[in-house]
């Protein structure tokens, strides 16, 4: 499973890059607003740090506007993936960018039918939002499993990018359901390392090692 980090904070991205875990980055207008940074500047900086896909979302909601904005964004770096919403115009724009050899992440996917449409227009990534479905008492993880089955039935190559991940459990559940990628907040990636038995076991090993009076170097 590939790990993308869902953030526009360059310091978090640098820190994660150093762990060797990071395969890409996703941003969205809310995350850019939270960062307080200039959008194009921050995307350029992220693309300098990360070799994998960096999703940059268009702000326009009409086809011409999305194409015009996406054409600006894709010139920032070769690893920019244009993020478009799952609408009629968004999927038309997806086809345009795929025809122009640019990666596309189709976002705001909440149903298997929407994922089917995105695959048919050649999306590089489809982003089902797990947490936001859970928020309204719908089983987010079932959507990942359904999309996996549909894509496998027809050998679609669109990668399933589990988004709106809110907990470490979401990550392992998405992996079990067959997601190709998870885009995860940095705070959740940090939690994935944790297990109380690891802490307990390590404390015991450290104590016992000290009692030997030995040193390795």
Letter string b/e over residues 102-122, b meaning 16 or more CB atoms within 10 A of that residue's CB: bbbbbbbbbebebbbbbbebb
3 binds ligand G3P (CB under 6 A): no
DSSP 185-196: -HHHHHHHT--H
Cα separation of the two ends of the chain: 37
146 binds ligand G3P (CB under 6 A): no
Q: Please give the Cα distance from 81 to 43 (Å, whole number).
A: 11
| Catalytic choice (40, 83, 200, 210) | 83
Residue selected from 129, 133, 143, 160 as contacting ligand G3P according to rule CB under 6 A: 129
Residue selected from 131, 134, 178, 186 as contacting ligand G3P according to rule CB under 6 A: 131
Going residue by residue from 10 to 39, which x/- string records binding to ligand G3P, judged by CB under 6 A? ----------------x-x-----------
Shortest Å distance, C-beta 163 to ligand G3P: 4
Strands 54-57 and 2-6: unpaired
Shortest Å distance, C-beta 6 to ligand G3P: 5
Is residue 95 part of the annotated active site? The answer reads no
82 binds ligand G3P (CB under 6 A): no
CB-count burial class (<10 Å; 0-12, 13-18, 19+) for 165? buried
User: Tokens 């307080």 correspond to what residue?
Assistant: 36
Closest CA to 163 of 118, 211, 96: 118
Stretch binding ligand G3P (CB under 6 A), from 67-75, 94-102, 140-148, 161-169 = 161-169
| Nearest residue (CB) to ligand G3P, 92 versus 166 | 166
102 binds ligand G3P (CB under 6 A): no
Residue selected from 163, 171, 179, 182 as contacting ligand G3P according to rule CB under 6 A: 163
Q: Please give the Cα distance from 169 to 45 (Å, whole number).
A: 31
Q: Please give the Cα distance from 80 to 76 (Å, whole number).
A: 7
Active site residues: 83
- Enumerate binding residues for ligand G3P (CB under 6 A): 6, 26, 28, 129, 131-132, 163-164, 166, 183
């Amino acid at each position: 499973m590939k790990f993308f980090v869902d953030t526009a904070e360059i310091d978090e991205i640098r820190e994660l890059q150093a762990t060797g875990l990071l395969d890409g980055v996703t941003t969205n207008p809310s995350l850019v607003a939270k960062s307080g940074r200039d959008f194009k500047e921050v995307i350029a900086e992220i693309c300098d740090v990360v070799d994998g896909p960096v999703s940059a979302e268009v702000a326009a909601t009409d086809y011409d506007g999305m194409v015009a904005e996406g054409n600006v964004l894709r010139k920032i770096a070769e690893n920019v993936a244009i993020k478009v919403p799952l609408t009629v115009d968004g999927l038309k724009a997806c086809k345009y960018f795929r025809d122009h050899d640019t990666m596309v992440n189709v976002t705001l996917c909440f149903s298997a039918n929407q994922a089917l449409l995105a695959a048919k227009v050649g999306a590089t990534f489809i982003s089902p939002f797990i947490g936001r479905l859970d928020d309204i008492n719908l089983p987010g993880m079932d959507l990942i499993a359904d999309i996996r089955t549909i894509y496998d039935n027809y050998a679609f190559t669109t990668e399933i990018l589990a988004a709106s991940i809110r907990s470490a459990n979401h990550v392992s559940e998405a992996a079990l359901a067959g997601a190709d990628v998870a885009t995860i907040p940095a705070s959740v990636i940090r939690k994935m390392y944790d297990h109380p038995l690891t802490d307990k076991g390590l404390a015991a090993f450290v104590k016992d090692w000290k009692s030997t009076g030995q040193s390795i170097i």
